[in-house]
Structure 1
Amino acid sequence: MRAGRYVEAVTDAAFDLAPGECLVLVGESGCGKSVLASALLGLLPGNAETAGSALLDDGLDLLAAAEPTLARTVRGRRVGLVPQSPAAHLTPVRTVRAHLAETVRALTRTSRAALPEAVGAAADRAAFPRTHLDRHPHELSGGLAQRAATALALVGGAPLLLADEPTTGLDRELVERTVDELRAHTRDGRALLMITHDLAAAARIADTVAVMYAGRLVELTPAREFFGTPGPRHPYARGLLAALPEREFTPLPGSPPALGDLPPGCAFAARCPAVGPACAERPAFTDGLACHHPDGPDPRLPEPARA
């Protein structure tokens, strides 16, 4: 709620995620991607409200589950979280070894005698060097802090892993290493939902791409089609790809509307070169697309003059 009124931070978000699959949710900052992840784990602010459902394979609805259920049986055990800014989620006065030992004790039945090796094995799963286990968070590089957070997320063997902007602040080599490590965790049947604004990282890891704009999904498509042929169909998604340095390096004009002040009709209309009368109505999300003029004029082209 904002200034006495409700803000619809995420609406009409519908997708399936199968074991062994990676779905990447992309979009500009502030479009609602991280809000969606927080909703799935019951980590929204106290005044937030949710509707709809988010079902695990046994039918448990994450959006309807009570806090004790989420705390005792879901977080860490069934859904692991690699948070944005992992260093901020690590206790500064505790070493990585202490973090991992506490998590291993909480989520597994490891005996005290077997705990040291279990901690080492947890570090190994995320390629975190055992030689750095006794370091504190402030002694870690951004990449090592990310691996520590990943190691913690994997301790419980959760079948679903949420990675919220896991490559923020990393150089390109570390970005590629991080997404490769995350992708490796889907090979034993885990599912991965990665949230990012880095399309190059998404191209490296995704099976499916979901594009979010102003709190709504506007396109959902296989990654091979999104990054290859025929390419994305929504003008916003096509504009995102055109902005990549390795492509046209042509930025999208304008900026997204504030979630608390969305325009009527299509939220992308003010930035879209193919806007027309139909865009005064909000497009429905049908067959993986929310657009009145799919495959219309390329967003890189100048907007036609209007009388």
Structure 2
Amino acid sequence: MRDGAYVQAVDGARFDLAAGECLALVGESGCGKSVLASALLGLLPGNAETAGSAFVGDLDLLAADEHTLARTVRGRRVGLVPQSPAAHLTPVRTVRSQLREVVRELTGARGTRLAAAVEEAAARAAFPGGHLDRYPHELSGGLAQRAATALALVGDAPLLLADEPTTGLDRDLVDRTVDELRRHIGSDRALLLITHDLAAAERIADRVAVMYASRVVELADAACFFGTPGPQHPYARGLLNALPDREFTPIPGMPPELGALPDGCAFAERCDRADALCAVGPALRDGVACHHPATVPLEAPRA
């Protein structure tokens, strides 16, 4: 709720995620991606309401109480690489101290085994051992990101949520970070990558879900999405065409406020395909929510 009115930040999002898979949830800032991640972990504000279900195994995350979420979900069934790692690290404790606590809690390691496990957790996220005794304010943005990633990977949770894990990083560090996250995936583990960085998504995703104005408007195989035939939804196609190695053409206009969504298709005002049919919001069918999906294959990116 905002200013006495409800804001529907996520509406009808529906997708699955199999073990061994990375699903990239992409879209412009403010479309509801991070709200969805917070809902899965029970981290929404107290005045927020959720409906529906979100299962990890046989547990419905949206129906779980705080005790269950705190004791059996966070870090154990679902790990989180937060959007702002520096803000989630305890400022008065060293990285080593925070890793020790998480490793001890999630693995039961003690003594010399605990010390070794902390070093191993840091190495797994490529966090330098020589920086373990530093405090968060002594870390660069990239190192804070790696510290947060190390903490998230400790429990080998079946589902890892990475919420904008590459924000503020240079391209080389982006690639290294997402590669580390990809290595987390195994026969019993999956990754939900929430990002506006399409290059990062293309690098590691198996499937792509595109979110616009609170709704998933396209769900596609990553190879088809980034290659041929390309996205079918005009918004998703516009996202790709805005990249420097493609047309480098921005999508005209601005997305609507989530508290003032129009009737019908929320993208209609920005879309050159819109007509009278778009006064009724399309449902997600065959992977795309559009009355006029694109059918011409998208041009490959320039070399």
TM-score norm. by structure 2 comes to: 0.96
Give the alignment of 1:187-226 within 5 angstroms. Answer: 187=186, 189-226=188-225
Structure 1 segments, 4+ long, off by >6 Å, are 296-299
Q: How does 1:94-173 map to 2 (within 5 A)?
A: 94-173=93-172
Q: Amino acid of the residue matched to residue 75 of structure 1?
A: R
Q: Give the Å deviation of 1:188.
A: 5.2
What letter matches 2:25 in structure 1?
A: L
Aligned twin of 2:4: 4
Q: Distance in 2 between matches of 1:108 and 1:6?
A: 41
Q: CA deviation at 1:19?
A: 0.7
CA contact (8 A) 1:83 1:165 kept: yes
Structure 1 residue 217, shift from structure 2 partner: 0.2
Partner of 2:33: 33
**Alpha-carbon distance in structure 1 between the residues aligned to 2:190 and 2:164:** 16
Q: Secondary structure at the match of 1:211?
A: strand
**Alpha-carbon distance, 1:3 to partner:** 2.4
Does the 8 A contact of 1:235 with 1:296 survive in 2? no
CA contact (8 A) 2:81 2:162 kept: yes
1:177 pairs with 2:176: yes
| Partner SS state of residue 60, structure 2 | coil
Q: Is the 8 A contact 2:228 2:297 kept in 1?
A: no
**SS of residue paired to 1:237:** helix
Structure 1 residue aligned with 2:238: 239
- Aligned counterpart, 1:252: 251
1:127-181 CA-to-partner distances (Å, cap 9, x unmatched) read: 1111111111122121111111011011112111000000000011111111111
Q: Which runs of 5+ in 2 are unaligned?
A: 299-303
Aligned residue in 2 for 1:19:
19
1:282 alignment partner, SS class: coil
Contact in 1 for aligned 2:10/2:32 (Cα 8 Å): yes
CA distance in 1, matches of 2:229, 2:296: 15
Q: Which residue of 2 aligns with 1:305?
A: none
CA distance in structure 2 between the partners assigned to 1:61 and 1:168 by the alignment: 30
Q: Deviations over 1:223-268 (max 9, x none)?
A: 0000001100000000000000111100001110000000111000
Distance (Å, rounded) in 2 between the aligned partners of 1:257 and 1:150? 33
Q: Whole-Å Cα distance in 2 between the matches of residues 100 and 2 of structure 1?
A: 37
Partner deviation per Cα, 1:257-298 (whole Å, 9 max, x = no partner): 000000111000000001111000011111211101011689
State the distance in 2 between where 1:228 and 1:94 align.
Answer: 46
The amino acid across from 1:11 in the alignment is D
Residue 301 (structure 2) aligns with: none
The answer to whether the 8 A contact 2:229-2:297 is kept is no
Matched residue type, 1:231: G
**Mapped contact 1:209–1:222 kept (Cα < 8 A):** yes
Shift of 1:20: 1.0
What is the TM-score with the length of structure 1 in the denominator? 0.95
Instruction: Work out whether residues 207 and 224 of structure 1, in 8 Å CA contact, stay in contact via their aligned partners in 2.
Output: yes
Task: Quote how far apart the aligned CAs of 1:113 are.
Answer: 3.3
Q: Percent identity?
A: 75
User: Aligned to 2:293, what secondary structure does the other structure show?
Assistant: coil
SS at 1:114 equivalent? helix
- Aligned partners of 2:23, 2:31: CA distance in 1, in Å? 17
> Alpha carbon RMSD of aligned pairs, Å?
1.5
1:91-150 CA distances to partner (integer Å, 9 max, x unpaired)?
112111001001112212112332111111111111111111111112212111111101
Residues 158, 190 of structure 2: 8 Å contact kept: yes
Letter in 2 for 1:240: L
CA distance in 2, matches of 1:255, 1:202: 23
Q: Give CA deviations for 1:9-65 in whole Å, capped at 9, x if unaligned.
A: 0011111101110000000000000000000000000011101100112x1000000
8 Å Cα contact 1:274/1:296 also seen in 2: no
Shift of 1:5: 2.0
| 1:85 matches 2:78 | no
1:302 aligned residue? none
CA distance in 2, matches of 1:232, 1:35: 24
